[in-house]
Amino acid sequence: MSFEFITVQLHQLKPIHKKKSRKKVGRGGKRGTYSGRGIKGQKSRSGRRFKPVIRELIKRYPKLKGYKFKSKVKNQKSKVVVLNLDILEKKFISGEKVTPQILLEKRMIRRIKGRMPKVKILGKGKLAKELIIEGCQISKGAKGEIKKAGGTVRM
């Protein structure tokens, strides 16, 4: 089998369709005098250039510093996973440590977009077990319940 390669150069390329002739206006006849352009002004002249309208709209927007998507990440409250005391009562035994890593292993929480979420413990429910809580945000009510049950809270 033999292949022949044909090389084509830029000057050899030609369009498939014919060029459309430009409509000539303003030279008498049916499209004479102002030829649909009105009288005087920038719009009636040849070679007129207008600023794009969208540019005017863009310029009105406030100029914000820095990376534009920071604000979205900052305001996302979904990065904090909320757990109540009654769930901890069911899943843990007395004297056990509670950390985000252990919660992940016990499948009580899961990663959000591949990242470890922040955990906040709220005071709904009763707690009778002594738990050691580390690396979690805790509400005042939950903190009181944990201390009452004989547990400890570390940051």
Q: pLDDT tens track of the chain, all 155 residues?
A: 677 878 889 999 988 898 888 777 767 667 777 777 788 888 888 887 777 788 888 888 877 776 666 555 555 555 788 999 999 888 888 888 999 999 999 988 998 888 888 999 998 888 888 889 999 899 999 999 899 989 889 87
Domain with 94 in it? 79-154
**Total domain count for the chain?**
1
- Asked if 135 and 155 touch (Cβ cutoff 8 Å), the reply is yes
Q: Which two tokens stand for residue 36?
A: 């649909």
User: Rounded CA gap, 33 and 44, in Å?
Assistant: 11
Task: Give the dihedral of Cα atoms 127, 130, 133, 137; nearest 10 deg.
Answer: 30
- Inside any domain, residue 74: no
Helix (H) or strand (E) holding 102: helix 100-105
Per DSSP, 143 falls in state H
CATH at residue 98: 3.100.10.10
Model pLDDT, residue 33: 75
**Up-side HSE of residue 54: CA atoms within 13 Å toward CB?**
0
What pLDDT does 74 receive? Answer: 52
Q: How far, in Å, CA of 55 to CA of 106, rounded? A: 54
Q: What is the DSSP letter of 5?
A: P
Residue 138: what pLDDT?
92
Q: What is the pLDDT of residue 58?
A: 82
Q: Determine, yes or no, domain membership for 91.
A: yes
